[in-house]
Each structure stands twice: as structure tokens, then as C-alpha cells.
């Protein structure tokens, strides 16, 4: 019997400190920017590592200021669709 492998997608949330007081409150519904990393991952560690590298590589990630909080969420594809 073959078990279906659950793939994860990485969401990068940029929240403003004027909207949330700490990173735990940052969610897709109150984020200033929500980006999806254009890949899927087999485990959470790989997901987080690739998402961090993605933020560092894109120009948007280099233009963040001290009022921006960056949160990475690795979620199953179904959870990401339901959160919007």
C-alpha cells in the first residue's frame, strides 16, 4: 500500500508593526504582503530553508525596513487555500 506524500508550500508574510505587536499575530488576513514560494517541499525543514533563501534573493526582501515583520509559514496546500 502506498501512502500519499503530503507536500508543503511556503507562504511568506510581511506584517507591519503598526498592525501587529508581535510575529505571532502575523497571519495571511492581516499581512501587508503574502507571497508564495514557487515550489513545494516534502518536509518542514526544507520548506523553511528554501523560503528564507527566497526572501534573501528577491529584491523585495532586500527592501524591508525595521517596521516590517517577516513570517514564514509552511502549510499543506489545502490549508493555504482555505486561509484566504
Reduced to 3 states (helix: H, G, I; strand: E, B; else coil), residue 25 is: helix
pLDDT tens, 73-84?
999 976 555 554
**Domain positions in the chain:** 8-77
pLDDT exceeds 90 at position 6? no
Q: Smallest Cα–Cα separation from 35: which of 7, 64, 53, 10?
A: 10
pLDDT tens, 19-75?
888 888 999 999 999 999 999 999 999 999 999 999 988 887 778 888 899 999 999
The pLDDT of residue 77: 76
CA distances from 29 to 14, 25, 32, 73, 80 (A): 11, 10, 9, 13, 11
The pLDDT of residue 54: 93
Amino acid at each position: 500500500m502506498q501512502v500519499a506524500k503530503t507536500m508543503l508550500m511556503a507562504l511568506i508574510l510581511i506584517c507591519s508593526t503598526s498592525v501587529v505587536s508581535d510575529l505571532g499575530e502575523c497571519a495571511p488576513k492581516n499581512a501587508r504582503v503574502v507571497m508564495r514560494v514557487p515550489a513545494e517541499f516534502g518536509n518542514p525543514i526544507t520548506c523553511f530553508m528554501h523560503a528564507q533563501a527566497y526572501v534573501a534573493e528577491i529584491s523585495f526582501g532586500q527592501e524591508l525596513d525595521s517596521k516590517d515583520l517577516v513570517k514564514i509559514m509552511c502549510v499543506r496546500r489545502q490549508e493555504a487555500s482555505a486561509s484566504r
